[in-house]
Chains A and B, each alone.
Chain A
């Protein structure tokens, strides 16, 4: 089992478990989560992680559904991304402040994992994208909670949105960009080609520095049906596949097969000034 950072479990306890435990709907029906059985939550409320989280269901609002998603899915995702970032950043001497684009971000999921890997000594810029605004709202609570617990560097920033193409990433910079797509490509609403194009445009807007793309998903073919066209579009955009495969992931409570991939693109060798060079 992976050993998480000491601030992570208390943060999840405060932001998820305590809130669920102390909610009047849970207190009124002991043994439930907000009045719903565990099976109902997984199959109906969060639909295995692919629900329309902003849509009310029964007496649950978007914020409730996001909270229940965090209760069920967040720990495993944190184990996977924590393991990945721990390896990627085991040796990282490059100066600067990385930018993290978290696609289908959930509640600041990759931000928490990167904070674990970098520690409070290093800053990063986090940009989370999710169709569900309720996820962004919960993500902000996690980010603020992590900051209160001293887990984030003072210059770490975060923001949440749903429109990758319209997002303002701030001033041009040379730092590394990290793009994470954890389980998001399993979504029924994802179109692989347009999303990959948006990712390439976003990286270009951030700056000419090197870029990493990290992919994780369950191992079923259906969950990964969007990955091949997505990966191929990134390769056409200059990325190289460093790893792409399936492996039994053991660093978590219930080991299961995990599909993961890493793609990398070097910093741009020349500055595109626009127009045509002679």
Chain B
């Protein structure tokens, strides 16, 4: 027989950031597939080709990260800041918000329709688009930019403040998304734990690039937050890498931040980030640099750390809904090299423990 090697048959995935500049782009990728990096590259490529570009995402920490990774020609902002600035610069008024951070999109569309003004920028590059409301895509595609470059993961629940891939396609008038298929972030061992919770029939987990032989994720028990502090600091001091500690509530963030700072040595970075972090403070949090960052499960979307201690488990376990499973998948996939699931201070019950991966994937 004379057959070719498989490597000679498979074409490498085309770089999506080289997609033509005079069209919109829709990219779907699971956690770890490099959406934020590709979005930043895409923004830079568009700027290199003379386009005016704005980079949009939902949370301010991700904006800060995009700014750290990005290009001074590209302005990065949250959706809220972008929409409110765009509206007030055009009308001189505050954008209609029936409640804080929730826009009346129908009213916005109506007013913009009457104004009939042309889009202000060539491209809006939108990262973590699943965390933005459907109305934003309808407004953005008609009035904010000539073209949209949308990078999204799946969101499985139907609500007003998030978008499923189908909703993004429909509201923004996009074609089916191009998939990102390689996982550049997680070790295979961490991906095994994260994928235990995966169940989508649209978006498959990305193929892990790293080789096996990494640390097996662990489940540990603690009786109090104080017990966790030496574990976190020991990890940081042994590896000098970025450590993320993910808790459920802002109160826990504050409590744990004080406990870790009390035991940290001078020069050891210990930060916290929640949606209530004072505006602008996130710019000073260098999460890509060695140190400890404490944050909530909501605030960690799109971010990654070398090591993760995940305490925010009870909110999702025993994973009765697709949203619960998706949240666990997303949270576990924040870790690059080390993942520790933390049972405590409030202990998980037997059904919650049973929903975790078996021992060959998650050491107890």
Residues on A close to B: CB < 8 A?
80, 83-84, 87-96, 171-176, 207-210, 212, 242-243, 247, 249, 251, 258, 260, 262, 264, 266-275, 277-278
Contact = CB atoms under 8 A, between A and B. Distances in A.
A267 B176 contact: no
B117 interface: no
Interface in B176-230: 176-179, 181-182, 195, 198-209
Contact of A88 (B3, B175, B182, B205): B3
B6 interface: yes
Nearest to A268: B179
Given A171-B199, A210-B10, A269 B166 contact: no
Nearest to B30: A174
Interface residues of B, number: 39
B262 interface: no
B181 A267 contact: yes
Contacts of A273: 165-166, 169, 176-177, 202
Contacts of A92: 5-7
Contact of B204 (A172, A210, A274, A275): A172
Contact of A89 (B5, B169, B201): B5
B177 A271 contact: yes
B350 interface: no
A207 B1 contact: no
B178 A94 contact: no
B5 A91 contact: yes
Interface in B134-182: 165-166, 169-170, 173-179, 181-182
9 contacts: A91-B5, A171-B204, A176-B6, A209-B181, A242-B3, A251-B1, A269-B178, A271-B202, A273-B202
A83 B3 CA distance: 9
Contact of B205 (A173, A247, A274): A173
A232 B210 CA distance: 38
B220 to A, nearest CB: 25
Contacts of B182: 95
Contacts of B199: 171
A208 B204 contact: yes
A172 B8 CA distance: 25
